[in-house]
Copies of this chain bind each other. A is one copy, B any other.
């Protein structure tokens, strides 16, 4: 009977794909594994779930304590339960996405010696350990879907972004080209973005006007 009871005893880890936007590119944060197995491979940050904490507390702790990042917007995405995820024991994984804007990220920047972190463009991912490749792709698909059918893009674009920047992100996510004039017309005429009156100087070409999202508008699908 005690072996039967043992049959229901599992381990569960958390994993998080943290996304940001930098110079028109969507990036995800990965961590380099320092020990075997998969030494030198890149993995998603995460931690084994302790019996005394919730998944959400655990992942918040991973973000703030382990990674040294600011508190950020987090959503649960999926729980992976393949039998052979880990080599020695049965470990399930609940995966999250986290969103942080690049400005906050740079302000908070604090290097840590004990972990090696790097931001990868979601179109050129490194060699990953475990089943993280599969998980990352699910997280990216989830991220894209959420950008399209919610207004969480606001989180990645705090005040003072340019419309060409925003357009690049939509083009990557929808995998289409958008006409610049029609894009501007849509966002401005429908009241989604508001001109701040400032411009983005110091780059090549004509300076771009800076905008912010209009928080008073209810969310709806733009594309």
List A residues at the B interface (Cβ < 8 Å).
6-12, 48-56, 76, 78-79, 81-83, 90, 92, 94, 149, 221
Contact = CB atoms under 8 A, between A and B. Distances in A.
B7 A10 contact: no
A79 B79 contact: yes
Contact of A81 (B6, B55, B83, B149): B55
A115 to B, nearest CB: 21
Contacts of A90: 51
B94 A52 contact: no
A55 B79 contact: yes
A48 B5 CA distance: 11
A62 B217 CA distance: 43
A9 B9 contact: yes
A90 B50 CA distance: 11
A8 B51 contact: yes
Contacts of A49: 8, 10, 81
Contacts of A78: 76
Nearest to A79: B79
A92 to B, nearest CB: 7
Contacts of A9: 9-11, 51
19 contacts: A6-B51, A7-B51, A7-B52, A8-B48, A9-B9, A9-B10, A9-B11, A10-B49, A12-B92, A53-B83, A54-B81, A54-B82, A55-B79, A55-B81, A55-B92, A79-B79, A79-B94, A149-B149, A149-B221
Nearest to A57: B81
A50 B8 contact: yes
Nearest to A223: B221
A92 B14 CA distance: 13
Contacts of A94: 79, 81
Nearest to A11: B8
Contact of A83 (B54, B79, B83, B92): B54
A50 B7 contact: yes
